Amino acid sequence: MNEPLIFERGAPGRRGAALPEDDLPRDVGGPEIEPALCRRGLAGLPELSELEVVRHFTRLSQWNFSIATNFYPLGSCTMKYNPIINEWAARLAGNTQIHPLWPDVLTQGALALLFELEGMLAAVSGMDAVTLTPAAGAQGEFVGIKMIRALHECSGDPRETVLIPASAHGTNPASSALCGYRVVEVPTGDDGLLHLDDVRPLLDRGVAAIMITNPNTLGLFEREIREIAAAVHGAGGLVYIDGANLNALAGVSRPGDMGADVLHINLHKTFSTPHGGGGPGAGPVCVKKILEPFLPLPRVVPGDGGFRLVDEAPLSIGRVRTFQGNYGILVRAYTFMLGLGGDGITRMTERAVLNANYLRRRLEGGLEIAFPEPCLHECVFSDQSFAATGVKTLDVAKRLLDYGMHAPTIYFPLVVSGALMIEPTETESRETLDGFADVLGRILEEARSDPERVKTAPHSTRVRRLDETRAARKPVLRWRPAVPAGDGTALREPAPSPGES
Amino acid sequence: MEFPEDLKYTREHEWVSVEGKVATIGITDHAQHQLGDVVFVELPAVGDRLEKADAFGVVESTKAVSDIYAPVSGEVVEVNDDLPDNPELINEDPYGDGWIVKVTLGDPTDLDDLLSADEYRAYVEESAAE
Amino acid sequence: MDFTPHTDADVQAMLAAIGVERIADLFRQIPEGLRLASGLDIPPGLSEPDLRARVAALASRNRSETLSFLGAGAYPHFIPAAVDALASRSEFATAYTPYQPEVSQGTLQAIFEFQSISSILLGTELANASMYDGASAAAEAVLMALRIRGAKARGRVLVARSLHPSVRATIATYADRLEGVSLVEVGYDAQGRIALEEGTPGSASDGQGEAGEVLCVVVGYPNFFGVVEDLPRIVAWARARGALVVTSTLEPLALGLLTPPGALDVDIATAEGQGLGLPMSYGGPGVGLLGARERFLRSLPGRLVGETVDVEGKRGFVLTLSTREQHIRRERATSNICTNHSLCALAVTVYVSLLGPEGLADLARLNARKARYAVAQLGGAGLSERFGGPYFNECVLRGPDVVARWDRLVRRGIVAGLPLGRFYPELDDCLLVCATDVHRRADIDRLATAWRSAGTA
């Protein structure tokens, strides 16, 4: 069944929404807006009835995989169940119908929620203070590195470089560059871990910080983290921990105890807020006391029997958002954490690690594990067990789609050949894990007996493999209004250039 | 994989051919193969000065981005105007129609430390084995 | 609450399959000194009824029934029921980023539609798949403008004082470190518009010409005062100096009435999308719109969805031009942004689809009328317009005892607007008042009456 673009549906003059009544007197006075600043129309916007809109988006939704319908063993993404109770909480009128700039006396519930959430995140991370404003992990990284920079500048020495392992997520170097730092790559050992002996030679008075993901992107716990942190501190640098893999640690181990000065947490990973097809998420940042003065604005501060939102702090790095953060997402994470409680959070982590280790056992027969050490909440396999068939990791990923399962994270980390990074999370049942292992076994068998079938997968999805080269060479990034030709057939022509009407 | 004998090569996978005072530069068959389908090329302007070993342009595929480094110093006298609309030329004919820039060769000794076809081939095979 | 499915039997069987005795054995690779001896300092979990009671109790301490005339970057508007019903479908909400496009055509087509709608609203040739919010979109737009000018760009970025304070602050956080580039605040005139004339105090031309060329000018449209900036004049001024123009529209409904920035030759247009189908939700999540000229494509931050075909020639959509982004370029990326606010962008798309061009224009006109009615009524209560410039649905009013009266009204359950003294000390006798389609005539009359009588309290 085909579903055209929304612009290709409907008819001129059709409208889907009935507007609020205009109950004002006809003449309300007031200034005219200059004609040059008044729009001459919104040509091109869709004109549909409500039913047409409902059908269009309902149909589109049916073309998606989602956690609600499919298993997503995506390493480092922590695609766990997004509880429906969170959605209920976020939609309470008390949470949606409140303005961010209202006087604090009108939003004490929201401020209390934010304060309590900060407390829970501080407890999980073992840190002293939290900001909930960053919109995502990447923005959290930017805020964290910016604070590090601010601290160094306060001491009169901004420093120049940030040490980052080669296996790190791309946002790490991008965030550092955004803060004006040069990136120095730290080699990973043959065992997949960071070693003090590899870090020490890189430590000089120019190093502002080291960014470490723990467990790292191979799913392995960085055993030497305390020693490395101590060495970096000894050289006057700070330690940033990327909390993307917190689902392996929450309730069992705390980054604050590992020497972290600052870390970000991805609420849309560890704390169950929905991915939404790409966002919104939230990336709170937790810091030790030493960085607290630099936290972005605004801050939630207790006092006078309630809470206040404070938007002045002399050393703060300033604002990164229009308002205080993705409140609707924070409500979801709060609801999740409150519902689980301390015991539930520990159980969450234990079962995430249990599931990953069980799945690893089931898969090890057919796939080659990248590093022999026990894994935590995710494990990484290479393409070595099937490379000889000519089938690539990408092909295996695409064939999984035919079986109704989303592919794992592939080709990351870059240090593993044809990497498949698999993270089941704690909300999947044993049957689902067995099912995935069986399917993967079947695909590996196909790779040997009928490789073409795998190489040309997927076969049964809504669309098959898409021409990404064409999309990049001749980008078509929007629909353009059609201009009817003289004989009534509609032609596609480019939208009028700016300056024309 | 092609390694034309009459060209010189760099370890960053560029090739150079010299005719009189003009050096033509492009990227090798190995490079285009590694990159995949080229979707975009960032070219310098005619008149720009290239310094040996500095990056002077960018080649992009759908999944990777690569700087292009100058094997020799010189002033750009021509850029391949076909590339913006037809970046696939780099994939289809990396040593011919997929050439990238032509520069006036400032110092012929710049060519001395470049690799011969055999040396480059050996280098590529050695790197693949690692 | 517990969302894990494991029974004791499951756990035992799985441990046996792995070959360990206890779950604790799975954490052996964590050094003992780093393993928590006791549990977290967080109270135990709750049953669903208890959880609901706790969350509802907190929500009830937010006075959502307050009659509020506050805009300033977050706007209360009527939202058709179908918007949330469609955007909250779990197939959209719980989907991952569309990296496997074959199973993500719902999300991808919806974002392509959003990019198209965004381009039309902003009047630009292209728009990206969205940013976090209006402020970060504006900050990224400034970084983009500087990239377009080139790595060796040196000079000044002029930021209007009449631009939302949080947007100015965010631009400063993102752009204050750049070598050779300084952010300069430019004041406003009696109209409430950016002062680009010679000699106006704080104007762009008051003797600062020697401080370096102007690289970029950033203005609100409408600005924080609700005033519609004279964009054609600003663009002409900037062009004469070779500068790029960036706009920030935090009340997106204004784009239903005003000429879009792209049509006035603005280089990069940004906006906050919350006012088009998202509840205020205490400030987030919202969605940032960013549009620009086609020739700036490669400098664009954020995700992009493009149209293509599959191996059978069927139309489909994919994330494209990813080589601009962090996961490939790493430290040379155009930005570090790794997400878009996809689900919020979807809500905007649904909302705009329901209203259509006529509906959007009518709703915008209604908003403008509501604001003018409010200004007239409040005029009768002692508040006069501070600026002469035309406004959309917000206006700055000036009068006696503004802060004291506003305070008294809050106690009576009315937020009359935003007293500006906190953000603009020179405007400490002023109030920013917003009236939208959610305000009935009776609500506005009540506001005026209350304001009048608040002086005698």
* Chain A residues closer than 8 Å to B62 by CB: 468-469, 471-472
Q: Please indicate, yes or no, if residue A322 is contained in any of the structural domains.
A: yes
Question: CB contact, 8 Å: B36 with chain C?
Answer: no
* Nearest-angstrom CA–CA distance, A477 and A465: 19
Yes or no, beta carbons of A221 and C30 under 8 Å apart? yes
Q: How many domains does chain A have?
A: 2
Yes or no, beta carbons of A328 and C281 under 8 Å apart? yes
Among A114-118, A257-261, A288-292, A488-492, the minimum mean pLDDT is found in A488-492
Q: Which of A335, A374, A376, A328 is nearest to A353 (CA)?
A: A376
* Nearest-angstrom CA–CA distance, C67 and A99: 11
Number of C-alpha atoms within 13 angstroms, CB side, residue A171?
Answer: 24
**Do residue A181 and residue A326 come from a single domain?**
yes
Residue A485's pLDDT band (cuts 50, 70, 90)? very low
Residue C331 pLDDT? 55
Q: Do the beta carbons of residue A311 and residue C165 sit within 8 Å?
A: no
Residue A412 pLDDT? 87
Q: Where are the alpha helices (DSSP H) in C176-275?
A: 231-240
| C73 Ramachandran zone, left/alpha/beta (phi>0; psi -120 to 50) | left
List all residues of chain A from 383 to 402 with a beta carbon under 8 Å from chain C. Answer: 397-398, 401
What residue has token string 């994939």?
A: B91
Residue B117 pLDDT? 93
* Chain B residues closer than 8 Å to C332 by CB: 65
What residue has token string 């669903």?
A: C48
Q: Please indicate, yes or no, if residue A439 is contained in any of the structural domains.
A: yes
Residue C23 pLDDT? 96
Residue A487 pLDDT? 34
Kindly report, residue by residue over A308-323, the tens digit of the pLDDT: 999 999 999 999 999 9
* Mean pLDDT computed over B17-35: 93
* Mean pLDDT computed over B33-56: 92
Q: In angstroms, what separates the C-alpha of C381 from chain A's closest C-alpha? A: 16
Q: How many domains does chain B have?
A: 1
Neighbour-count burial for A385-400, b at 16+ CB within 10 Å, e otherwise: bbeebebbbbbbbbbb
Give the structural domain span for B107.
8-124
Question: Can you give the C-alpha Rg of chain A in angstroms?
Answer: 26
- Give the residue from B32, B39, B85, B88 with the most A CB atoms within 10 Å of its CB, the best one to mutate: B39
* Nearest-angstrom CA–CA distance, B119 and C364: 70
C375 vs C72, C393, C397, C407, C452, CA distance in Å? 16, 10, 8, 19, 13
* Chain C residues closer than 8 Å to A338 by CB: 45-46, 51, 54-55
Q: Where are the alpha helices (DSSP H) in A179-224?
A: 196-199
Select the highest-mean-pLDDT range: B103-117, C243-257, C296-310, C335-349.
C243-257
* Nearest-angstrom CA–CA distance, A108 and A306: 7
* Chain B residues closer than 8 Å to C329 by CB: 65
Kindly report, residue by residue over A331-370, the tens digit of the pLDDT: 999 999 999 999 999 999 999 999 999 999 999 999 999 9
> For residue C351, what is the enclosing H or E element?
helix C342-379
Q: Please indicate, yes or no, if residue A99 is contained in any of the structural domains.
A: yes
**Do residue A202 and residue A286 come from a single domain?**
yes
- Crossing angle of helices C342-379 and C105-122, rounded to 10°: 30
* Nearest-angstrom CA–CA distance, A473 and B86: 8
Q: Do the beta carbons of residue A3 and residue A59 sit within 8 Å?
A: yes
* Nearest-angstrom CA–CA distance, A64 and C92: 7
Q: Do the beta carbons of residue A52 and residue A244 sit within 8 Å?
A: no
3-state SS, residue A10: strand
3-state SS, residue A109: helix
Yes or no, beta carbons of C298 and B40 under 8 Å apart? yes
Number of neighbours of residue C76 by Cβ within 10 angstroms? 19
- pLDDT, mean over chain B: 92
List all residues of chain A from 235 to 274 with a beta carbon under 8 Å from chain C. Answer: 249-254, 257-258, 272, 274
Residue C336 pLDDT? 64
| Residue C337 reports pLDDT greater than 90 | no
Q: Do the beta carbons of residue B117 and residue B5 sit within 8 Å?
A: yes
Yes or no, beta carbons of A321 and C284 under 8 Å apart? yes
| Residue C338 reports pLDDT greater than 80 | no
Q: Please indicate, yes or no, if residue B97 is contained in any of the structural domains.
A: yes
- Give the residue from B37, B40, B59 with the most A CB atoms within 10 Å of its CB, the best one to mutate: B37
Q: Is C312 exposed, middle or buried (0-12, 13-18, 19+ CB in 10 A)?
A: exposed
Among A211-215, A384-388, C157-161, C197-201, the minimum mean pLDDT is found in C197-201
Residue A79 pLDDT? 97
Question: CB contact, 8 Å: B61 with chain C?
Answer: yes
Look at chain C and count its residues: 457
Yes or no, beta carbons of C117 and A45 under 8 Å apart? yes
Indicate the DSSP class of residue A47: B
Yes or no, beta carbons of B62 and C328 under 8 Å apart? no
- CATH 3.40.640.10 matches C83-350: yes
What is the longest distance spanned by two Cα atoms in chain A? 79
Q: In angstroms, what separates the C-alpha of C288 from chain B's closest C-alpha? A: 26
Yes or no, beta carbons of C92 and A64 under 8 Å apart? yes
Question: CB contact, 8 Å: A278 with chain C?
Answer: yes
Nearest CA in chain A to B85: A473
Residues of chain C with CATH 3.90.1150.10: 67-78+357-454
- Give the residue from A227, A466, A497 with the most C CB atoms within 10 Å of its CB, the best one to mutate: A466
* Chain B residues closer than 8 Å to A471 by CB: 62
A242 vs A5, A177, A278, A283, CA distance in Å? 39, 16, 19, 11
- Give the residue from A15, A57, A217, A358 with the most C CB atoms within 10 Å of its CB, the best one to mutate: A57
- Give the residue from C94, C99, C297 with the most A CB atoms within 10 Å of its CB, the best one to mutate: C94
Q: In angstroms, what separates the C-alpha of A329 from chain C's closest C-alpha? A: 7
Count interface pairs A-B at CB distance under 8 A.
Answer: 16
Neighbour-count burial for A146-157, b at 16+ CB within 10 Å, e otherwise: bbbbbbbeeeee
Q: In angstroms, what separates the C-alpha of C322 from chain B's closest C-alpha? A: 7
**Do residue A273 and residue A387 come from a single domain?**
no
Residue A491 pLDDT? 32
* Nearest-angstrom CA–CA distance, C18 and A354: 9
Give the structural domain span for A134.
85-340
Kindly report, residue by residue over A451-471, the tens digit of the pLDDT: 999 999 999 999 999 999 999
* Tokens coding C129: 């798949």
Strand residue runs (E) in C147-294? 155-160, 181-186, 214-220, 244-249, 268-272, 288-292
Residues contacting residue B77 through CB under 8 Å, at least 6 positions apart: B22, B46, B102, B103, B104
Kindly report, residue by residue over A72-109, the tens digit of the pLDDT: 999 999 999 999 999 999 999 999 999 999 999 999 99
Residue A384 pLDDT? 96
Q: Please indicate, yes or no, if residue A472 is contained in any of the structural domains.
A: no
Q: Please indicate, yes or no, if residue B36 is contained in any of the structural domains.
A: yes
**Do residue A306 and residue A388 come from a single domain?**
no
* Nearest-angstrom CA–CA distance, A236 and A257: 19
Residue C330's pLDDT band (cuts 50, 70, 90)? low
Kindly report, residue by residue over A161-193, the tens digit of the pLDDT: 999 998 788 788 888 988 989 999 999 998 889
Bridge-based pairing state of the strands A238-242 and A207-213:
parallel
* Chain A residues closer than 8 Å to C124 by CB: 498
Percent of chain C predicted with pLDDT > 70? 93
* Mean pLDDT computed over B101-106: 93
Q: CA torsion, points C376, C382, C385, C386, in degrees to nearest 10?
A: -170
Q: In angstroms, what separates the C-alpha of A222 from chain B's closest C-alpha? A: 26
Among A34-38, A254-258, A298-302, A387-391, the minimum mean pLDDT is found in A34-38
List residues in chain A touching B: CB distance below 8 A: 468-469, 471-473
Look at chain A and count its residues: 501
- pLDDT, mean over chain C: 93
* Chain C residues closer than 8 Å to B65 by CB: 323, 328-329, 332
Boundary residue ending a domain (A300, A318, A340): A340
Q: Please indicate, yes or no, if residue B129 is contained in any of the structural domains.
A: no
Angle (nearest 5°) at CA A311 between A307 and A312: 120
Q: Which amino acid is it at C402?
A: V
Q: Please indicate, yes or no, if residue B3 is contained in any of the structural domains.
A: no
Kindly report, residue by residue over C204-239, the tens digit of the pLDDT: 665 555 457 899 999 999 999 999 999 999 999 999
* Mean pLDDT computed over A395-405: 97
| Residue C332 reports pLDDT greater than 90 | no
**Do residue A335 and residue A399 come from a single domain?**
no
Q: Which chains are adjacent to chain B, needing at least 3 Cβ pairs under 8 Å?
A: A, C
Residues of chain C with CATH 3.40.640.10: 83-350
Angle (nearest 5°) at CA A245 between A243 and A250: 80
Q: In angstroms, what separates the C-alpha of A82 from chain C's closest C-alpha? A: 7
Q: Is the ipTM of this complex over 0.90?
A: yes
* Chain B residues closer than 8 Å to A469 by CB: 36-37, 39, 62
Q: Which amino acid is it at A245?
A: N
> For residue A54, what is the enclosing H or E element?
helix A50-61
- Nearest 5°: phi and psi at A104? -55, -30
* Chain B residues closer than 8 Å to C298 by CB: 40, 42
Q: Please indicate, yes or no, if residue B73 is contained in any of the structural domains.
A: yes
* Tokens coding C275: 């006012």
Nearest CA in chain C to B35: C323
* Mean pLDDT computed over C95-119: 97
Q: Which of A390, A401, A380 is nearest to A448 (CA)?
A: A390
* Tokens coding C143: 């970084």
Yes or no, beta carbons of C328 and B63 under 8 Å apart? yes
Q: Please indicate, yes or no, if residue A19 is contained in any of the structural domains.
A: no
Q: Please indicate, yes or no, if residue A151 is contained in any of the structural domains.
A: yes
The CATH number that applies at residue B108 is 2.40.50.100
**Do residue A249 and residue A109 come from a single domain?**
yes
C-alpha of C67 from chain center: 23
* Chain B residues closer than 8 Å to C150 by CB: none
- Give the residue from C295, C299, C328 with the most B CB atoms within 10 Å of its CB, the best one to mutate: C328
The CATH number that applies at residue A447 is 3.90.1150.10
* Chain C residues closer than 8 Å to A106 by CB: 62-63, 66, 410, 415
Residue A488 pLDDT? 30
The CATH number that applies at residue A131 is 3.40.640.10
Question: CB contact, 8 Å: A100 with chain C?
Answer: yes
Kindly report, residue by residue over C28-58, the tens digit of the pLDDT: 999 999 999 999 999 999 999 999 999 999 9
Q: What is the 3-state secondary structure (H, E, C) of C391-420?
A: ECCEEEEECCCHHHHHHHHHHCCEECCEEC
Q: Please indicate, yes or no, if residue A446 is contained in any of the structural domains.
A: yes
Number of C-alpha atoms within 13 angstroms, CB side, residue C455?
Answer: 11
Q: Which of C320, C321, C328 sits opposite B64 (nearest CB)?
A: C328
Q: Do the beta carbons of residue B22 and residue B103 sit within 8 Å?
A: yes
Question: CB contact, 8 Å: A202 with chain C?
Answer: no
Q: Please indicate, yes or no, if residue A478 is contained in any of the structural domains.
A: no
> For residue A210, what is the enclosing H or E element?
strand A207-213
Q: In angstroms, what separates the C-alpha of B111 from chain A's closest C-alpha? A: 31
Yes or no, beta carbons of A472 and B88 under 8 Å apart? no
- Give the residue from A331, A463, A492, A497 with the most C CB atoms within 10 Å of its CB, the best one to mutate: A463
Q: In angstroms, what separates the C-alpha of B54 from chain A's closest C-alpha? A: 18
Nearest CA in chain A to B83: A473
Residue C335 pLDDT? 64
Yes or no, beta carbons of B62 and C322 under 8 Å apart? yes
What CATH number should be reported for the domain whose range is C67-78+357-454? 3.90.1150.10
B71 vs B32, B38, B104, B114, CA distance in Å? 17, 21, 12, 8
Question: Can you give the C-alpha Rg of chain B in angstroms?
Answer: 14
**Do residue A180 and residue A208 come from a single domain?**
yes
Among A67-71, A303-307, C370-374, the minimum mean pLDDT is found in A303-307
Q: Which amino acid is it at A278?
A: G
Residue C203 pLDDT? 61
Residue C327's pLDDT band (cuts 50, 70, 90)? low
Residue A67 pLDDT? 97
Nearest CA in chain B to C318: B62
Kindly report, residue by residue over C108-142, the tens digit of the pLDDT: 999 999 999 999 999 999 999 999 999 999 999 99
Q: Do the beta carbons of residue A382 and residue A418 sit within 8 Å?
A: yes
